A and B are shown apart, each in its own frame.
Chain A
Amino acid sequence: MVATDKPTYKVVGTRPIRPDGTDKVTGRAEYGVDTRLEGMLYGAILRSPHAHARIKRLDTSKAEALPGVFAVATNADFPRVESGTMSIGEGTANPVWLVDNLLAGEKVLYHGHAIAAVAAIDQHTAEDACALIEVEYEVLPAVVDVREAMLDTAPILHDDLRTTVRARGVEPSANRPTNIALHLRLEKGDLEKGFAEADVVIEREFETAMFHQGYIEPQNGTAWWDRDGNITIWTSVQGTFNTRDQVAAVLKVDPSRIKVMPMEIGGGFGGKNPIYLEPVAAILSRKSKRPVKMWMPRDAVFLATGPTSATYCRIKIGAKRDGTFVAGHAYLAYEAGAYPGSPVGAGAQCAFAPYNIANQTVDGFDVVVNGPKTAAYRAPGAPASEYAVEATINELAEMLQIEPMDLRLKNASREGTLNSVGAPWPTIGAEAVMQAVKNHPHYNSELQGEDTGRGVALGFWFNGGMESSGTASVQADGRVSLILGTMDIGGSRASMAMMLAEDLGLTMDDINPHVVDTDNVGYNATTGGSRVTFQGGWVTRDLADQIKAQMSARAAAIWDVPADQVKYEDGAFVGPKERFSFKEMAGKLPGTGGLITVSATSKRNTQGPAFAGHIVDLKVDRETGKVQILRYTAIQDVGTAIHPSYVEGQIQGGAVQGIGMALNEEYVYDDQGHLRNASFLDYRMPVANDLPMIDVQMVEVPNPGHPFGVRGVGEVPIVPPQAAIRNALHDAIGINFYRTPVSPRVILDELLPKD
């Protein structure tokens, strides 16, 4: 670990066992689908076999008549909602589109689009009933490629969609239907002047496939709409409040009438921010007067949830002979899926983030296609645009005959240089990470063997922000209950408890963290954007300060001294003459005015920008096209690592998801928009024997905008792998690839003799 000016901590930086660990290794932890309620029914959903079709007739009568069926729901069961914009955790949506995505209205817009839902006595009966629902379709031409969807001749998904233009000097197009929902432009400096000054200009085009988040736990939702009009929902989501507010919007129920229970969540990576089943289960519950549990079969998870945008990216960079970047242009076209809302905005801001380029323009397009509505996926939008830039820079380094890391270091973003929206960077670790890559033993080791190659790439993500709340109660025995509303998706109970313990001078075992439902804690935004430990640290700092102040006042009263003469040091209240340990003082609370409960809310927008640099060695098997990763090193500026094991785990997991994108994973559609690989067998995620250990080097450049210097860590590690591996493949076999994934078939197409 490389540390700079790091304070000495007692708890932060240690590796205790997580508080929820035992339940998770013994099978006791309760995930959403583990919910069992008296009288509970089981739900199933009928999905479209077509990618684009008008629903001419929908007849559910035979399903309703099947013994064991209690309720059937269709789009007509939703109240009429108004068109508008609402937050859906990471991103926004129009409530009308949210409803249409839950159960299709007039048209189905993708293979697997939900049409009707059934609640029955058991799963088998619910599925049997779905098969009895009659649907007559008028099949329409489908478009599943972003560039085809942008053509004037493309099939139109939404007759009322017009392009929103957020680009200076660009006239909105004619008032006619389009699949281009948004054209945005970020500008800095003078692009034309920049390219005129360049000695060398490089322009390259790239495509990235549609990838799925691949969480192992399918989406689920159990709902009970009681006779008083209140709704309780048990579900595995990244944000309970986010789910509550979305369900409220589509059902037109006051949010305060909905309680969302935080069941454990089996992975999300951004994909468990949108709602899919919860409102449908609620409608089935209202109709059947019973609780209804639903979960998705795996093929539905692939067909109808997640994925990330497939993209087309064109990158143009101008440089001086000495390697100084003088101009950069990125053209980014991102698929949104069936409804607008791709993460192209974030992709645009990230594209050139690691580099200081005086003159740059980024054009981003959000484009609807006949695929599932895309959802956030780990650093949403960043992997595609940064892959394209990092691959282009590697080719530029070769053209200029400059060592690739030297070229990057020469152009590194630094504190005070302007980012792509023209704002100065705060303290960032871009240069420190680049230097750490260059100095790493891996980067400087000799690579041996035939058809082996080494590649490197950088990555950036914003991190932070949004609102968190928490409550702490001091118990008379000296322990502290910590009440949280952010979902623990990978160890955040531990990190939060550790930060509170650190501030109170206690051990992690003295803190008892709980994640509770939406009625029992203040508002918490979703778990995403690498924000939870960042914002949570502000909350626990505030809670600790309040606890210390109130307990100091009690101690002062006992000792009959002014409050300012009591200090809190090393876990003890120290007065002019006496001292009480935290535990002793806690024991005196009941007799001096009662136990103490404090609450705090934080909504700081000071981001903790994070950079990563990955180094990969690989070997290509010329007979099969399979790529074996020989060695992998992930270097990352983590700010301060609260629980280093879980920070390493985030980095390793993110890197491996990126390796999957680079080498194997992709949605495969036929020309009519049918998804051909909706299973874990055919959507090939990395398995244990595909990989070596993932070595992590944490660079700690504390975030000055956080009590402990935390930067988010979860997102940025997914950014560099696609370019690092693509650059390593060039090193290994001399071929530049311009599309990910570079699957064995793609490699064989290049290596086998063409006839």
Chain B
Amino acid sequence: MTTANHFVLSAVINGEQRDFLADERDSLLEALRERAGIRGPKEGCNNGNCGACSVLLDGRLVNSCLVMAAEVQGAEITTIEGIASPEGLDPIQQCFLEEAALQCGICTPGFIVATKALLEENPTPTEEEARFWLAGNLCRCTGYDKIIRAVLKAADQKGS
């Protein structure tokens, strides 16, 4: 067995202090999914091209497949599971539902986390700005039309 490669990973994940064993070869995505049981971030490519594994690392949008688990000791991580508040869905999530901005839903966690980061950086994006910001997130079902509409609607609602 290869337990010799294990270390205790301590991080604040979705507002909660978590300490768990990870392998020193794990990416953050693998550690979240297969060690910590946080399976909202999805693996689409494992090389930073699809954005399905997007998380916020100390507030910064990253592809968790491109971050080594060992790099995030003590960090604050927000995944899709941490976007809704106890009071209800985030307006981004609500707008994705209302605008039918998902079909299969596999890219949705990544898009919502990326949109969260977008609206924190730029609360009133134009359509073009939204399209460029989300260019790192692949969706194969929707053709992006309804996703962009949902993002712009969420920006409107958050602004008002």
Contact = CB atoms under 8 A, between A and B. Distances in A.
Interface string A639-672: 0000101101110111111000000000000000
A655 to B, nearest CB: 6
Instruction: Count chain B CB atoms within 10 A of each CB in A33, A267, A686 and give the residue with the most.
Output: A267
Nearest to B52: A216
Contacts of A28: 40, 81
B11 to A, nearest CB: 17
B25 A646 contact: no
A490 B103 contact: yes
B9 to A, nearest CB: 15
Instruction: Count chain B CB atoms within 10 A of each CB in A68, A643, A653 and give the residue with the most.
Output: A653
Interface residues of B, number: 62
Contacts of B98: 17
A516 interface: no
B49 A681 contact: yes
B140 A267 contact: yes
B92 to A, nearest CB: 8
Contacts of A451: none
A217 B23 contact: no
Interface in A516-542: none
A36 B105 contact: no
Contact of A689 (B25, B132, B141, B147): B132
B21 to A, nearest CB: 11
B135 A298 contact: no
B143 A694 contact: yes
A27 B79 contact: yes
A680 interface: yes
A691 B127 CA distance: 11
A681 B34 CA distance: 26
A234 B41 CA distance: 19
Q: How large is the interface on A (under 10, 10 to 19, 20 to 34, 35 or more residues)?
A: 35 or more
B13 interface: no
Nearest to A265: B104
Given A26-B84, A491-B100, A124 B146 contact: no
B147 A298 contact: no
B39 A34 contact: yes
A291 to B, nearest CB: 14
A29 B105 contact: yes
A546 interface: no
Nearest to A42: B34
Given A31-B106, A269-B140, A653-B143, A681 B23 contact: no
A26 B93 contact: yes
A493 to B, nearest CB: 12
A679 B135 contact: no
A27 B80 contact: yes
Given A646-B103, A685-B140, A26 B1 contact: no
B76 to A, nearest CB: 18
Interface in B100-123: 100, 102-109, 112
A693 B46 contact: no
Contact of B43 (A20, A124, A218, A645): A218
A22 B44 contact: no
Instruction: Count chain A CB atoms within 10 A of each CB in B1, B39, B128, B148 and give the residue with the most.
Output: B39
Contact of A489 (B25, B44, B103): B103
A264 interface: yes
Nearest to A693: B145
A679 B42 contact: no
A648 B81 CA distance: 29
Contacts of B138: 214, 216, 680, 685, 687
B101 to A, nearest CB: 8
Interface in B1-59: 1-2, 5, 23, 25, 30, 33-34, 37, 39-47, 49-50, 52
A297 B23 CA distance: 19
Instruction: Count chain B CB atoms within 10 A of each CB in A25, A214, A264, A489 and give the residue with the most.
Output: A25
A165 interface: no
B7 to A, nearest CB: 14
Interface in A1-44: 15, 17-18, 20-22, 24-31, 33-34, 36
A21 B2 contact: no
Contact of B2 (A67, A264, A267): A67
Nearest to A216: B44
B68 interface: no
Contact of B30 (A123, A653, A655): A123
Contact of A691 (B100, B106, B144): B144
Given A298-B46, A685-B138, A25 B39 contact: no
B134 interface: yes
B89 A25 contact: yes
B153 interface: no
Contacts of A34: 33, 39
Contacts of B128: 689
A653 B39 contact: no
B83 interface: yes
A652 B23 contact: no
Q: Which 4 A-B pairs have CB atoms at the shortest separation, nearest pair first? A: A27-B40, A266-B106, A656-B143, A490-B103
7 contacts: A20-B105, A25-B80, A28-B40, A214-B138, A215-B104, A267-B103, A688-B130
Interface of A: 15, 17-18, 20-22, 24-31, 33-34, 36, 67-68, 121-125, 213-218, 264-269, 295, 297-298, 489-491, 643, 645-646, 648-650, 652-657, 679-681, 685-689, 691, 693-694
Given A653-B140, A679-B49, 4 more contacts: A27-B80, A216-B50, A217-B106, A688-B132
